[in-house]
Structure 1
Amino acid sequence: MSAKENLGDYYADTAYTPTKRQHWEEANPERDTIIGSRLSWSRRTQDNGTNEEYGYNNIAISQNWEDQRVEKSLEGDDIFKGMKVCYDHQSIMPPNYTSMAKYLHITMAFSIGFFCLFLFVLCLIIFGALLFWVLGSEDFSYFYEMSRDGFYYLIPLILPCLMLWKGGRYIERKYPEVFFGMRKGPLWQANRKTGLFTIYEPKNAWEKRLEAPFWEYDAFLQSSPDTQGSATYSLILYHPFQQVRQKLDAQFPPTKMPGELVAAWQFLQRYMDVSQPLPDVPGLEIHRHKDPATAAADERKGRNPSYWRDMDEASVKKIQEEKYRKNIRLR
């Protein structure tokens, strides 16, 4: 008996269950593919998620979004139109940042990283020279010259990084509409209630490029080199017959740990699967009672409705670290 038959008319006929994917795979053994590692579909997905999904701050962020939704009386797609994000029991629509916002975020991230790196090298040079002087291996002139050269070569690198870092913080504080600039329409939507995964046109707000049942997509891990030549992985959904692909970076950021994105794929399958409860992560807890399959499962298990909210930050952090250690071993 299907989840729809069990739970009335809440879910659409297109709502996802693993059986539908299994039948689709059997009917389409030969299908188009793209470069990358194709990820498998689980018949019954484990309750898993990325490191970020288990962040303690997600409790407050989710509650803030819910308070805004209630205050503005938003439902369905109007949630994204009014708040530029949706993350609840019905759908996931991540923020769609403007190019300027993305540039500012990337620039500030690199400036912080290089500032710390150059400052560490400078401190290492000064400390090393000081150690040689104190131990008597070199005289004071050696310490002076090494320190002078360190400042001469590294301060011109440290100061611009510091200026970019603090400049980004200033823009974030004074001009949040620029720093957190978002487009009017979403990039994509994963809708648990309907079972549809929708890809939108990037340049035309809310114009659908493709809307298809979730089980018709294949998931891939694709790698690309970063600035240092190391492999960075992204999670991609690809429709093999429409030949349309969508990166999921906005919700599941690129990472050097492929296991984290395997966990992201498991999380997304679990989120869409109406034969199972929602993933048990902090950010979705306040929505669990609104989803019939989840509410029924929680009642059977006697789950504490405030399981995550009753924890202190250290306890949530411990669970988050345990999940992460498990995720990095996933393949």
Structure 2
Amino acid sequence: MNVNYYQDTAFNSKKRYHLSPESGDNNLLKKSLKLGSQKLPFSNPINEISTRVDIENKPSLMEKLRETKPKLEPFWDHEKLIVERSSKWFRLYYFLSALGKGLIAIALPLFTLVCLLLGVLNEEVFTLVFFPALQWIFLPAALLWLQVMLMDRGYWTPTWIMTSKKVFTLNRKTGMVTLYKGNGKVRYSHPIVEFDCVLVSMPSHQGLMNYNLMLAHRYSGSMHGIPLSTLATPNESVSEYYRIWNMILCYMDVSQPLPDCLILEESRHLDPVTAEYDRKTGRNPRYWRDMSEEEYKATLEAIRNKQQGKPETGPELNIFSQVS
């Protein structure tokens, strides 16, 4: 391992870390455990990925973004995982886009049919109702829907609508986990070994169990956790949350190569441990990126099928010395 690349605070599962006394009974971990949540231990990462993380990404989309926006930085690379929350204007914009899509796909055909039927009786329906509605309602809706479709494909992105604020970051190089406030300022930043991973379970109004994965800081007593669940689609299975935790451990552990997934492939050669691993194993540096969309879907499906019945994480690791 290149000792000059990683900082002293970087997480290495082959080391032993000092375990200090926890903060009082009022900390986030203990409150969560009292409500029936599960504490997921540190474990030896295995070569498994969560197929639910970054599920919207595709090789063709990545290549198109590289062509249209060569300076765009990925949210996850060899150094940092950055999770951001879009602005309220962006969410409103997407809501209006969905509304525009509904107007064009559903309301416009019905509205046209009604106007045609009424126009047989009164031709003024077209001049007084149909054409004004096309101009002031359906045309703006169509333009809004078109713009968001182009934006999803990497074109025509208004910068004012794409503003966002950081939620949290994970830094492989330093081992630090940082949570941000709503205004974008740092709430806290600590090494990952000072966090416990918790699978929070809460029943919904329908009686179904909902799950969330988070990191709770062991010592500060902060009631604000790191929402790891935002890395995947909502309400995943319990086994998938275990795989997400395994993937995070693999990413943060500098004794291990980076997780082998599409989003991290283009920066694997920049991480010393991963570059050495790939050199020894002869890994194809464009294994994921050269797949067609159909091959990519089939590969993820094959991985999911292969994962059925297999352990989601490696054996538990005791990386801590005794509490002093």
TM-score range normalised by the length of the shorter chain: 0.5 to 0.7
Higher relative contact order (Cα pairs below 8 Å, separated by 6+ residues)? 2
Shift of residue 43, structure 1, vs aligned partner:
3.3
- Percent of aligned positions that are identical: 27
Distance in 1 (CA, whole Å) between partners of 2:21 and 2:46 is 25
Q: 2:11 aligned to 8, 16, 24, which one?
A: 16
2:163 paired residue number: 182
1:289 paired residue number: 269
Distance in 2 (CA, whole Å) between partners of 1:217 and 1:53 is 21
Distance in 2 (CA, whole Å) between partners of 1:51 and 1:287 is 19
| Matches for 1:172-321 after TM superposition, within 5 Å | 172-173=148-149, 177=158, 181-183=162-164, 185-203=165-183, 205=184, 207-224=185-202, 228-242=206-220, 243=222, 244-321=224-301
Is residue 2:80 matched to residue 1:87? no
Q: 1:45 to 1:110 in 2, by over 3 A?
A: farther
Are the counterparts in 1 of residues 59 and 290 from structure 2 also a CA contact under 8 Å?
Answer: no
Distance in 1 (CA, whole Å) between partners of 2:13 and 2:74 is 27
| Matches for 1:151-166 after TM superposition, within 5 Å | none
| Matches for 1:99-138 after TM superposition, within 5 Å | 99-102=88-91
Residue by residue over 1:4-37, the C-alpha shift from the partner in whole angstroms, topping out at 9 and shown as x without a partner, is xx313000000111245x5345876998423253
Corresponding pairs, count: 267
RMSD of equivalent CA atoms: 4.2
Are the counterparts in 1 of residues 195 and 218 from structure 2 also a CA contact under 8 Å?
Answer: yes
Shift of residue 275, structure 1, vs aligned partner:
0.1
Distance in 2 (CA, whole Å) between partners of 1:181 and 1:225 is 34
Shift of residue 272, structure 1, vs aligned partner:
0.7
Residue by residue over 1:135-186, the C-alpha shift from the partner in whole angstroms, topping out at 9 and shown as x without a partner, is xxxxxxxxxxxxxxxxxxxxxxxxxxxxxx9797356258954996432x31
| Matches for 1:67-82 after TM superposition, within 5 Å | 72=71
Distance in 2 (CA, whole Å) between partners of 1:29 and 1:328 is 38
Aligned-partner SS, 1:94 = strand
Q: Determine which structure has the larger helix proportion and give its number.
A: 1
Aligned-partner SS, 2:225 = strand
Report the TM-score when normalising by structure 2: 0.66
Shift of residue 267, structure 1, vs aligned partner:
0.9
Are the counterparts in 1 of residues 60 and 292 from structure 2 also a CA contact under 8 Å?
Answer: no
Aligned-partner SS, 2:277 = helix
Residue ranges of structure 1 left out of the alignment (5+ in a row): 1-5, 73-82, 114-164
Aligned-partner SS, 2:188 = strand
| Matches for 1:15-54 after TM superposition, within 5 Å | 15-20=10-15, 23-24=17-18, 32=27, 33=29, 34-35=31-32, 37-53=37-53
Are the counterparts in 2 of residues 237 and 247 from structure 1 also a CA contact under 8 Å?
Answer: yes
Shift of residue 85, structure 1, vs aligned partner:
5.6
Report the TM-score when normalising by structure 1: 0.65
Aligned-partner SS, 1:274 = coil
2:136 paired residue number: none
Aligned-partner SS, 2:279 = helix
Distance in 1 (CA, whole Å) between partners of 2:88 and 2:73 is 15
Opposite residue 76 of structure 2, the aligned amino acid is: Y
Opposite residue 37 of structure 1, the aligned amino acid is: S
Are the counterparts in 2 of residues 236 and 247 from structure 1 also a CA contact under 8 Å?
Answer: yes
Distance in 1 (CA, whole Å) between partners of 2:48 and 2:174 is 22
Opposite residue 202 of structure 1, the aligned amino acid is: G
Residue ranges of structure 2 left out of the alignment (5+ in a row): 103-140, 151-155, 313-324
2:87 paired residue number: 98
